[in-house]
Amino acid sequence: GENVEQHPSTLSVQEGDSAVIKCTYSDSASNYFPWYKQELGKGPQLIIDIRSNVGEKKDQRIAVTLNKTAKHFSLHITETQPEDSAVYFCAAWMDSSYKLIFGSGTRLLVRP
C-alpha cells in the first residue's frame, strides 16, 4: 500500500554539526517529494522540495537527495543552528492514489 517511512524519529546534534533525515516510499510512480518543518504551535512550512527528474537540490544549508531506483530520499542540514530545532516531515506524492502522503516526522534538537 501507499506508505512513507521516515527515520530517525528523534535526532539530537551539536550546533554546527550536520543532520540527516531519511525517507523511503512505496509507490514507484511518485514524482514529487517535499519536506516540511513544523515549529512548536505552528503549522508545517515547506522548506525544500524535489521532483523525480532531479537527483539533488540545494538551498543554502539545506539539501535534498533522491534515489528513485532505491525509492528513498534524504534531507541534509549542514552547520545546524538552534533555530533548526523543530519537527521535520518528508512527503511523497502518490501518483497511484493521487494523494500526498507524509512520513511520521523527525524531531530534531540542536544543542547549543
Partner 1 sequence: KAGVTQTPRYLIKTRGQQVTLSCSPISGHRSVSWYQQTPGQGLQFLFEYFSETQRNKGNFPGRFSGRQFSNSRSEMNVSTLELGDSALYLCASSKTGTDTGELFFGEGSRLTVL
Site for partner 1, rule CB under 8 A: 6, 9, 32, 34, 36, 41-46, 49, 89, 91, 93, 97-105
Q: Which is nearer to partner 1, 18 or 96 (CB)?
A: 96
Phi, psi of 84 (to 5 degrees): -80, -10
In whole angstroms, the minimum distance from the beta carbon of 41 to partner 1 comes to 7
Structure-block grid coordinates of residue 55: 537527483
Q: Which is nearer to partner 1, 98 or 112 (CB)?
A: 98
Q: Which is nearer to partner 1, 41 or 112 (CB)?
A: 41
In our burial notation (b when 16+ CB lie closer than 10 A, e otherwise), range 43-75 reads: ebeebbbbeeeeeeeeeeebbbbbeeeebbbbb
